Structure 1
Amino acid sequence: MAITAIGASEAAVGETEAEACGSHLSCLLIDRDEAQRLADMLKAIADPTRLQILRLIERAPAGEVCVCDLTDCLGLRQPTVSHHLKIMTEAGLLDRERRGTWAWFSVNHEGLRRVREILEPSSA
């Protein structure tokens, strides 16, 4: 009988919680494809080397950087730096321009704006 009383008591609490927890959420979801693109952008900068690269390019005096400059600055080999740059370019965070044998990179400001909107949604 005590079990029944506890069960009834729990049921009453459950009903009260359900009333208090009524769905007030408007369920305005990000489109699934857009959510995937934004997740890819966040994954692309979720690496210490890529964050360093982004900061270096952002602060470059000319607003762009050659791969050869990044290898010297980071102390990494060109294939490693190129791998990181490719990930960031494919994610829409960097723009790439080929000049002769070298590639030059600049920040894609639209991509960076989208990342900032993720991190500061109230400003969107």
Structure 2
Amino acid sequence: MSADEAEVAAKMFKALGDPVRLRLFSAVASHEGGEACVCDISDVGVSQPTVSHHLKKLKEAGLLSSERRGTWVYYRVEPAVLAAMGALLSGAAGVSA
């Protein structure tokens, strides 16, 4: 893994290191059609402004993209992100401690 690849991966995993962000990412990734309205995933036990903050952090880390439709914002997981994370994790599975 190059230094640049490690930097990108570290940002992604740091963003997922928060339980609320991990739940939001999972909710979007598992939602029908691969995208979810913020109105459908905001029930994670924190206030709406906090949900927006966490979604912004996931977006800044390159894990999600978003699109405004009327008054709602729809989030989707970037397909390349899932592929890259899967490749990284499957490569790490072959490493023994």
* TM-score, length-scaled by structure 1: 0.66
The superposition leaves residues 86-112 of structure 1 with CA deviations (integer Å, 9 ceiling, x where unpaired) of: 111111211111112221101111112
CA distance in 2, matches of 1:32, 1:62: 34
* TM-score, length-scaled by structure 2: 0.82
Matches within 5 A, 1:1-124: 30-71=1-42, 73-121=43-91
1:102 partner letter: W
The superposition leaves residues 53-92 of structure 1 with CA deviations (integer Å, 9 ceiling, x where unpaired) of: 1221122123211112222x21322211111111111112
Change (3 A) 1:115 1:60: same
Higher relative contact order (CA 8 A, sep 6+): 2
Aligned-residue CA RMSD in angstroms? 1.8
2:73 partner letter: A
CA distance in 1, matches of 2:85, 2:60: 14
CA distance in 1, matches of 2:92, 2:7: 21
Q: What is the number of residues matched between the two proteins? A: 93
2:64 partner letter: L
- Work out the percentage of aligned pairs sharing the same amino acid: 44
Q: Would you say the 8 A contact 1:44–1:91 is kept in 2? A: yes
Change (3 A) 1:44 1:122: closer
Q: Would you say the 8 A contact 1:58–1:106 is kept in 2? A: yes
Where 1:38 maps in the other structure, the secondary structure is helix
Structure 1 portions without partners, runs of 5+: 1-29
Q: Which has the larger radius of gyration?
A: 1
